[in-house]
Amino acid sequence: MISGILLIDKPEGVTSFEVVQRARRALGIRKVGHLGTLDPMATGLLPLCLLEATKLVPYLMPEPKVYRARVRLGVATDTQDATGEVVARCETLPAPAQIYQAAAAFMGEVTQIPPMYSALHFQGERAYRRARRGETVDLPPRTVTIYELTVDEVAIPEFTMTVKCSQGTYVRTLAKDLGDALGCGAHLSALRRLAVGALRVEEALTLAALAELGRGELEQRIIPISRCLPGMRPVEVGLAEARQLRQGQLLVRPADDFKDGEQVQVLSDAELVAVAQVRSLSPQAVLAPVRVFRRNEQEAGSSEQ
């Protein structure tokens, strides 16, 4: 089994953890993680990191996410989505032009107060657990970035929108805040994740395919780790230098080609060797390994765990 990313199209009603468990069984490996939880009611792209690819999570999690969301106007819930209890209703709903205008105001950096029914920690415990006990949960506001927000279709009392946003953005909070801005309240009635960075849901497998395909066929759908960091500058090295990096040794290169502090991906023979950081430019650039990756043949004996 090679290290890499397997794209799954998560269906509604299944938790992200359940998808991970099914992938472990189908692939016969234990080392599986994902790039951002999707709530059970949400569908869409759930990238799974396999074996050595789990080391890529810190580099891929900050990538922008793209969602298609359906918002129900005039009904507010305690969870800010369709799974919660209704806490307010409003019969007076906005005109389509008002929706487009309100959505435009949420572009760029915005401040969100995360929902109390969330997995964030509050005073040493998950916020949703305290909320379920009826306790007051005052989570601190956070700044997130809405890179793109397009209202795709309006059919009062609902509208759909496509959102490209930064890590940490709650789309259900965005729906709630839009409802507040329109003066009628709102909640998220459906959510589908379309992309995580350069990864697209169109290339994802269904859970049915995950269960039906053999391991050989599944392996063909895995994106190798050497192709998982398209936004990071590549540096090619020979086998001897690759061995040195995997042993934690430094790599020296001409200083003209690098910027102090930048991170690069080091490749050898089409395999990802390491993520390295430039630590010095005087008189030459010194590349220090930050994350090192085992060769695929080294993983063969450890896939069945």
pLDDT in tens, 80-90: 999 999 999 99
CB 16 within 8 A of CB 47: no
Dig out the tokens for 205 from the structure.
């497998």
> By the 8 A CB rule, do 144 and 112 touch?
yes
Same domain membership, residue 216 and residue 148: no
Do 34 and 182 belong together in one domain? Answer: no
Q: Clarify whether residues 141 and 36 are in a common domain.
A: no
**Which CATH number characterizes residue 220's domain?**
3.30.2350.10
Q: How confident is the model at residue 67 (pLDDT cuts 50, 70, 90)?
A: very high
The pLDDT score that the predictor gives to residue 302 is 43
Omega of the bond prior to 157 within 30 degrees of 0, cis?
A: yes
**Nearest one of 199, 291, 276 to 232, comparing CA atoms:** 276
Q: Is pLDDT larger for residue 296 or for residue 91?
A: 91
Q: How many CB atoms lie within 10 A of CB 233?
A: 12
DSSP H helix total and E strand total for the chain: 9, 19
Distance CA 203, CA 147 (A): 23
Q: Do 94 and 216 fall into the same domain?
A: no
The domain boundary residue, chosen from 210, 227, 244 = 227
pTM: 0.90
**Measured distance CA(248)–CA(178) in Å, rounded:** 50
Other CB atoms within 10 A of residue 258 CB: 19
What total number of domains does the chain contain?
3
Instruction: Give the separation between CA 118 and CA 81, rounded to whole angstroms.
Output: 12
**Residue-number span of the structural domain to which 203 is assigned:** 4-63+198-227
pLDDT at 266 over 80: yes
pLDDT class of 47 with cuts at 50, 70, 90: very high
Mean pLDDT lowest for which of 103-112, 280-289, 290-299? 290-299
Report residue 140's pLDDT band, with 50, 70 and 90 as the boundaries.
Answer: confident
222 with 297, same domain: the answer is no
159 within 8 A of 153, measured Cβ to Cβ: yes
Question: How far, in Å, CA of 256 to CA of 237, rounded?
Answer: 17
Q: What is the pLDDT of residue 91?
A: 96
pLDDT tens, 214-252? 888 999 999 999 999 998 999 999 999 999 999 999 999
Report the 10 Å Cβ neighbour count for 100: 14
pLDDT at 245: 94
| For range 186-198, the mean pLDDT | 97
Three-state DSSP class for 178? Answer: helix
Tell whether 59 and 93 lie within a shared domain: no
By the 10 Å C-beta count (0-12 exposed, 13-18 middle, 19+ buried), 126 is classed as: middle
Alpha carbon distance 39, 206 (integer Å): 17
Q: Is 282 a residue whose pLDDT tops 90?
A: no
> Are residues 262 and 146 part of one domain?
no
Give the pLDDT confidence score for residue 240 in this predicted structure: 94
Per-residue pLDDT at 22:
96
Domain boundary among 176, 206, 227: 227
- 81 and 145 together in one domain: yes
The pLDDT value given to residue 123: 65
Residue 84: φ, ψ to 5°: -95, 180
108 shares its domain with 188: yes
The pLDDT, as a whole number, for residue 301 is 42
**What's the pLDDT at 254?**
87
Contact 57, 79 (CB under 8 A): no
Residues annotated as part of the active site? 39
Strand pairing category for 158-165 and 32-34? unpaired
pLDDT on residue 121? 67
Q: Note whether 87 and 188 are same-domain residues.
A: yes
β-bridge partners, 272: 267
Assigned token pair, 136: 């007051």
Kindly state the DSSP code that residue 107 receives in the 8-state scheme: -
| 254 and 298 co-located in one domain | yes
Q: Looking at residue 305, what is its pLDDT? A: 35
Q: How far apart are CA 271 and CA 112, in angstroms?
A: 40
The CATH number linked to 276 is 2.30.130.10
Based on the fold, state whether residues 69 and 169 are members of the same structural domain: yes
Q: What share of the chain is helix, strand, coil (3-state, %, to 5)?
A: 30, 35, 35
